């Protein structure tokens, strides 16, 4: 590696230009990587502007390392990322702690049937689906964070 990458500031969202500077990768490369790596999904706002979160910046740095420093192909890097995520999922299933100092809480999938009966069924199902989606997203973020350590 020619020079160390700058530290990532404590911000919630980063523009594509900021991520480009933080990761040493041009914006058009970042847009291309979005198509190649399904784990990379920046939020899009007005005018299709991309906003990346901290975990996505870390993932981009990992992708950059795999491609530029370790010499993986796009396909090889994609497989390696999936392999790392699977290893972390296996650790979680076997009860190993992924991040020191972080308590692992397993929650069974449920339909959250204990909602108040006054809430309409459609709304309960909608909220249930949203909660399951958020739970899945949180596990993915945890997997990504643990894969960088």
Better-predicted residue by pLDDT, 32 or 134:
32
- Give the pTM: 0.60
Torsion 18-67-40-36 (CA) sign: positive
Mean pLDDT lowest among 42-51, 74-83, 102-111: 102-111
- Identify the CA nearest to 87 among candidates 38, 146, 130, 134: 146
Beta pairing partners, 44: 50
Question: What average pLDDT does this structure show over 19-28?
Answer: 96
Structure-token match 């950059």, residue found: 64
For residue 41, pLDDT over 50 is answered with yes
Mean pLDDT lowest among 15-24, 88-97, 117-126: 117-126
One-character DSSP codes across 115-139:
S-TTS-HHHHHHHHHHHHHHHHHHH
Domain that holds residue 60: 14-147
- CA quadruple 113, 114, 115, 116: dihedral, nearest 10: 130
Percent of the chain whose predicted confidence (pLDDT) is above 70: 77
What is the pLDDT, as a whole number, of residue 149? 53
What is the pLDDT, as a whole number, of residue 134? 82
- Identify the CA nearest to 98 among candidates 87, 82, 112: 87
Distance CA 128, CA 116 (A): 13
What pLDDT band is residue 39 in, cutting at 50, 70 and 90? confident
Distance CA 18, CA 53 (A): 11
What is the pLDDT, as a whole number, of residue 107? 47
Chain segment 69-99, per-residue pLDDT in tens: 999 999 999 999 888 878 878 877 877 554 5
Asked if residue 8 is part of any domain, the answer here is no
**Number of domains comprising the chain:** 1
CATH number, domain containing residue 108: 1.10.1660.10
* Other C-beta atoms lying within 10 Å of the C-beta of residue 81: 21
- Identify the CA nearest to 139 among candidates 106, 113, 109: 106
């Amino acid at each position: 590696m020619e020079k160390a990458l700058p530290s990532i500031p404590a911000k919630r969202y980063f523009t594509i230009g900021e991520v480009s500077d933080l990761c040493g990768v041009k914006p058009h490369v970042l847009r291309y990587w979005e198509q190649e790596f399904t784990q990379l999904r920046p939020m899009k706002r007005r005018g299709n502007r991309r906003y990346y979160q901290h975990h996505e910046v870390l993932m981009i740095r990992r992708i950059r390392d795999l491609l530029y420093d370790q010499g993986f192909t796009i396909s090889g890097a994609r497989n390696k990322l999936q392999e790392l995520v699977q290893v972390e999922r296996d650790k979680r299933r076997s009860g190993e702690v992924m991040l020191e100092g972080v308590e692992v809480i397993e929650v069974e999938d449920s339909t959250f049937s204990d909602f108040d009966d006054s809430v309409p069924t459609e709304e309960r199902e909608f909220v249930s689906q949203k909660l399951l989606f958020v739970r899945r997203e949180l596990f993915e973020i945890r997997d990504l964070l643990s894969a960088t350590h």
